[in-house]
Amino acid sequence: MMLTTLTTLTGLSLLPLAPGTATDSVAPFVQINSQSYAENNSIYALVKGKESDYQGSNHAFTFNEAAFGLRYHNVTLSYIYRYEWFLKHSPDALLLYGDSLNRTDMVPGKTYQVDLNVNHTIQQGIRLGWRMEPADNLAFYVAGSYLKATDLMEGQLHGQVQRSASDDISGQLNLDYVYGEDVLLDRIADKPTSRYGFSTDLGFDWQVNRHWFLSAFVQDAYGEIMWDRAPYTTAVANTATAETDENGYININPIASGFEGYKEYKQRLTPKYTGRLAYLFGDTALSASHFYGYGAQLTDLAVRHGWRWVSARLSYTLQSQAIGLALSHRYWSMQVVSDNLDYQQASQLSVQLSGQVPF
């Protein structure tokens, strides 16, 4: 019974170092975590810039991380690689983006309120993690990472665009962003240099009693990347050069005026919070989990059952109606979450894989 309960707890823990997984010798391990979400829209179409039935929404993000390292007892040292971006946008901004990709006309008489925030970076580095257990039913996790980054984009675009009843396009957009590559105005600029970066992770597992279990994890509780000579543009763009092409579609070639230059820049990493409360009875657990990050919130309800060597979990995400399936063992785990069998239509898609080889 104790082994089965431990297997269940291993699957419930949100920490990178779960209970019951410590080794007495050096053990290589791998952890892969890919999470993508586009509120009310296809994450594939949004990322790839494909035609789709875009709906007004506010959030989209993707976070991908791979870690390869060594574990000894409750200490890990690993190499990590991360790809991360997120968008916070007004519903009108996404509708306008969809009109552009789908080659459909803007709604006559409608004023589109455009508000877009973007943050993107690619990082790699070294992470040191430690799980400490001051009591049999309580554990804390802390990790620190030293990072170097190879790509940068962060900034804001806001303003409004409208199409009159007589099909005239007018509007003004204010742009303020830093970048490695200017994808908006095609400025040719030197690449920025990542001077250094760091990140901290925190979490805990607490088995309150024989029935209740609580786990929480904060990734990038505080983290930043320092950049040297980061290109930036601060500009105001208007629609003075809106034209109609031979097919009757409107093309807008904005006239921009403002400032360009280079500067030292501090890019903050976005904290990602996850909490889970579980009720255990026998070898079965019912749980509720909540994720908050990038302005988005995802809540899932799940049931997990443990057998002698493995536990299985079935979950349902309230916001996206995604179904999740997971299997957990003391030394490996896998999980897939999606709201559509066709990944190109899914608004939420998560894949997690981990394993270690004890010697």
Q: What are the residues facing 119 on neighbouring strands?
A: 86, 154
Classify the phi-psi angles of 121: left when phi > 0, otherwise alpha if psi is within -120 to 50, otherwise beta. Answer: beta
- Tokens 């802390």 belong to 142
pLDDT string in tens for the chain (359-residue length): 344 455 567 778 999 887 666 777 888 999 999 999 999 999 999 988 888 999 989 999 999 999 999 999 889 999 999 999 999 999 999 988 888 888 887 788 888 899 999 999 999 999 999 999 999 889 999 999 999 999 999 999 999 888 777 767 778 889 999 999 998 888 899 999 999 999 999 999 999 998 999 999 999 999 999 999 999 999 988 765 555 555 555 556 667 788 999 999 999 999 999 999 999 998 899 999 999 999 999 999 999 998 888 889 999 999 999 999 999 888 889 999 999 999 999 999 999 999 988 76
Domain, as residue range, for 111: 2-356
For residue 251, give both structure tokens: 């093309």
- The pLDDT value recorded for residue 183 is 87
Q: Determine the pLDDT at residue 4.
A: 43
H or E stretch at 4:
helix 2-12
Nearest CA to 1 out of 298, 282, 227, 323 is that of 282
Gyration radius of the chain's alpha carbons: 23
Number of domains in the chain: 1
Which residue is associated with the tokens 């239509």?
Answer: 345
What is the reported pLDDT for 3? 40
- Can you tell me the distance from the alpha carbon of 305 to that of 232, in angstroms, rounded to the nearest whole number? 52
- What is the rounded distance in angstroms from the CA atom of residue 147 to the CA atom of residue 196? 6
pLDDT of residue 353: 95
At 270 the pLDDT is: 95
Name the DSSP class of 247: T
